[in-house]
Amino acid sequence: MSHDVVAPPPPRTVVVTGGALGIGGGISRRFARDGDHVVLVDIDADAAAATSAEILAAGGRVSVLVGDITEDDTVARLASHVADEHGHADILVNNVGDFRPAKSFFAKSPPEQWRRLHELNLWHVFSVTHALLPGMIAHGAGSIVNVSTVEAFRGIPGNAVYSAYNAGVSAFTKSLAVELGPSGIRVNAIAPDLADTPQTTAELMLAGRDPALLRSWLPLGRFGRPEDFAGVVAFLTSDDAAFITGHTIPVDGGTLAASGWYGKASGRGWTNMPDQA
C-alpha cells in the first residue's frame, strides 16, 4: 500500500511593519511559526534583533529591515528588499500606529501633532501598500491586513485626530478591497482594543486600579495578548477567509459590543449609568 506524502506549502513572504514588539511582534512570531518567511520592519533595532533571534532560534525564517516606516527611504528599501529577495510579497500587514503624539483635546492640539499622527497612522499604510502592490498584482494573488482600532468606530475624547485617521484606514481597506478583488488580492483590517503591549501596558491602563475591575470593564474580563490579534490576522490571510474582503474585524474582548455598558462592581448584572450602584 502506498501513502501519498503531502508536501508542506511553500513559505509565503509576509511583510510586517512594526513587527518587533506588541501586536506586530505577535504577528511576526505567528507567521514564522506557521512556516512563512517574515520580513520584519521596525524602527527599534534592538527589539527587531531580539524578535528575529527568537524566531531563528525556534527554526523560523525572518529578515529584518530597520527604519522609520513613515520615511520614503525606508519604504523604498523595503520594496527593493522584497523585489530582490522574494520577487513579491504574499502578505502585507500594515501594523504601525500610535495615539501618543497627540493626547490632548482637539481645541488645544497643535497642527504639527496632526501631521505626525497622519504619518504614523495613515500615510505609511498608503505608501507601503502602494510600493508593494505592483508585485502582488503581477503575481495575481495576495492578502493585506491593516491594523485600525475600535476608536475608528466610537468616540474617544482626547484622540479625535487619531480616531479619524484610523477610520481612514478602515475606509481605505473597504475601497481598496473593491479595487483589488479582480486582481485576486484580499484587503481586510483588524480593530484592536485594550492590548497589553509596550504602547498600552496593562500597568498603564490600570493606573493603580484593582485588576479585578477588568471583569466590569471588558466582557471577556482580561486584556488582549499579542497572540489574540495575531490569530485573527493569520485567519484573515488564510484560505479559510478566501471569501472575506473589505472588512474590519474588531478584536476587542467585547468592548465595542458593550459600548457604554459596564459590569457592576458587585458582580451582579450590568449598568450603563455613570455610577456603580
Contact positions vs ligand NAD (CB under 6 A): 17-18, 20-24, 41-44, 47, 68-70, 95-98, 147, 149, 192-195, 197-200
Q: Please state, in angstroms and as integers, the Cα–Cα distance from residue 154 to each residue in 103, 107, 221, 239, 264, following that order.
A: 17, 19, 20, 31, 22
Beta strand ranges found along the chain (DSSP E): 13-17, 37-42, 61-66, 91-94, 142-147, 185-192, 248-251, 262-263, 270-271
> Smallest gap, in angstroms, from Cβ of residue 220 to ligand NAD?
14
Q: What is the distance between the alpha carbons of residues 136 and 142, in angstroms, rounded to a whole number?
A: 6
> Smallest gap, in angstroms, from Cβ of residue 1 to ligand NAD?
50
Nearer to ligand NAD by Cβ, of 18 and 142: the residue is 18
Nearer to ligand NAD by Cβ, of 51 and 109: the residue is 51
Task: Provide DSSP, 90-141.
Answer: SEEEE----SGGG-S-GGG--HHHHHHHHIIIIIHHHHHHHHHHHHHHHHT-
> Smallest gap, in angstroms, from Cβ of residue 275 to ligand NAD?
27
Q: Which three cell numbers stand for residue 137?
A: 498584482
Active-site residue 165, yes or no? Answer: no
CA-angle at 10, arms to 9 and 12, nearest 5°: 110
Nearer to ligand NAD by Cβ, of 104 and 199: the residue is 199
Count the neighbouring beta carbons within 10 Å of the beta carbon of residue 239: 8
Nearer to ligand NAD by Cβ, of 4 and 73: the residue is 73
Q: Pick the catalytic residue: 31, 153, 162, 172?
A: 162
Active site residue ranges: 162
